[in-house]
Amino acid sequence: MTKSPQETKDTNTGVQPSRVLRDLIILFAAIILVLILSYFFDMFTLIVRFLRKYPDKIVYVDEVITGLLTLSIGLSIFAWRRWLELKKETSQRIRNQEELLRITATQAEIERIIGKQLRVDMDQMKQDVREILQLLCNKHKNI
């Protein structure tokens, strides 16, 4: 039995598990790649050699580290706030969709009732016309 895309989504997040798994695999692959490149190219040693060669540039190391730390914290807060906004918007869209479905169902029920009433009215009118025609025919025969 095949599942619809809606059924395959995680009920808490609305994200398909395969996308989450794919993103995690890509993230871990990137981390492993960086670790391998760091091991073979020994990036920290290159930085230390550069700073020994140009000691006057060492003053900027703490600013760079502080800047990168601030950037990572800031991006984390930014991502968290966007996630909260997305979560709020998603719940609002779900509420709107449920309201639309409720309105649509109500509209369909109203149209069904009106259609039924129209059929009843039409049947009654036909019956009335038959009775009138029969009365006219009877009067015409009597004349």
Ramachandran category for residue 115: left, alpha or beta (phi over 0 → left; psi -120 to 50 → alpha): alpha
Q: Spell out the long-range contacts of 4-11 with Cβ–Cβ below 8 A and sequence spacing 24 or more.
A: none
Mean pLDDT computed over 2-17: 52
pLDDT score for 50? 80
State the Cα–Cα distance between residues 20 and 23, nearest whole angstrom: 5
Enter the pTM of the model.
0.47
pLDDT tens-place string over residues 69-116: 999 999 999 999 999 999 999 999 999 999 999 998 898 889 889 999
Please list, in sequence order, all residues whose beta carbon lies within 8 angstroms of the beta carbon of residue 14, skipping any fewer than 6 positions away.
Answer: 90
| Tokens coding 112 | 């069904």
The 10s digit of each residue's pLDDT in 111-142 is 889 999 999 999 999 999 999 999 888 888 87
State the average pLDDT over residues 45-74: 82
Note the pLDDT of residue 47: 77
